[in-house]
Amino acid sequence: MEHFFVLFDNVIVIQAANPGLWGSFVNFLGYILTGINNITNNYGLSVVLFTILMRFVLLPLDLKGRASTKKMNDLKPELDKINQKYKNDPEKRNRKTAELYQKYGINPLGGCLPLLLQIPVFFALFAALRQIASVALGEFFMDLLNQYEPSIVPVLDQIKEVIDKSTEIKGNFADILPQLFVRSDLPIIDKMKELAGSENIDLLVNTINKISDQEVYQFLQSSNYSSFRFLWIRNIWIADSPLVSISGKPINFFSGIWNGVFILPILAGITSYYQGKLVNPSGGGEQTKGFTAIFPILSVWFTSMYTAAFGVYWITSNIFQIVQQIVYNNINKPEKEGAKREER
């Protein structure tokens, strides 16, 4: 699947060549996010609004899954009796279990299917964020090089044309350029020299190495890229971390122009833990307990490794689902359900 990225009047447009169904869906989500950003002119706020919109779209599936799971939990005492009574007769146990499900009109997979349907949406959202990050950073560093060293513009255009047309290099120049600002010894450089010429690539790498993080920061503060800033985060397309600069380059702890203060990963871990406790207040089985314990750790790792935009998405989604679960729990309190049964 090949994607083309265009920056037109500071508006990112994602175009695709023969993207297929999956690519079209990813592009569609990208159009929505960039459309929101055209209004807000702040990618952090746009990701928040975009996430809330997606959670409302997925809300019917979520509620259906929760309702099915609740029915299954209500039947647990009767299921336990069947399992105990027919523990030595698997065939009869399965038949009685199926009869119980049929009696109450329950699909044992009803709680899983809505969740499974949401998984492709999650990966599509992640892919859309990566696409937008790629073009945004690519255009940012292209503009930075053009301003810092105008004489490199013809060479830069030539390199871009050769790389984008090549079938020997995975990705396009917009994907590779931000990586060169992080590391100037990438293995792919040798292949780039073969395609675009050693002299051209050496000039590009040397120019990049001359640009300090302070100069990158000064350029980032320009009005053209004000949409990259969000709260304490200096560049939304770089991880929220005091261990990386605003260009994504590894730095010593809080040295140089750091990009963030590690707040998003911490919030991701806290909200993921709290969400898990709300969904399974009793802790569930051993497998559920293990997942509840490890998921917040994974949340911290994911949001510290990927862009701050992804961290904003993750936390906003968690907070939405926490509020949703609190409301759902209050509506379906045992005493309210008991009163409903008495009224019947």
| C-alpha of 12 from chain center | 18
Q: 282: pLDDT confidence band, cut at 50, 70 and 90?
A: low
Residue 86: inside a domain, yes or no?
Answer: no
- pTM of the prediction? 0.79
Range(s) of the domain holding residue 338: 262-344
For the segment 286-321, what is each residue's pLDDT rounded down to a tens digit? Answer: 555 666 678 888 889 989 888 999 999 999 999 998
Q: What percent of the chain has pLDDT over 70?
A: 84
For the segment 199-229, what is each residue's pLDDT rounded down to a tens digit? Answer: 988 999 999 999 988 899 989 888 788 889 9
For 101, the enclosing helix (H) or strand (E) is helix 90-103
For the segment 9-54, what is each residue's pLDDT rounded down to a tens digit? Answer: 444 444 444 468 888 888 899 899 999 999 999 999 999 999 999 9
Residue 187: inside a domain, yes or no?
Answer: no
For the segment 146-193, what is each residue's pLDDT rounded down to a tens digit? Answer: 888 888 888 888 888 888 888 888 778 888 888 888 888 888 888 888
Residue 203: inside a domain, yes or no?
Answer: no
Residue 325: inside a domain, yes or no?
Answer: yes
Residue 282: inside a domain, yes or no?
Answer: yes
- pLDDT exceeds cutoff 90 at 74: no
For the segment 48-63, what is each residue's pLDDT rounded down to a tens digit? Answer: 999 999 999 888 877 7
What is the domain count for the chain?
Answer: 1
Residue 266: inside a domain, yes or no?
Answer: yes
Residue 79: inside a domain, yes or no?
Answer: no
Q: 342: pLDDT confidence band, cut at 50, 70 and 90?
A: very low
Residue 337 makes CB contacts below 8 A (sequence gap 6+) with none
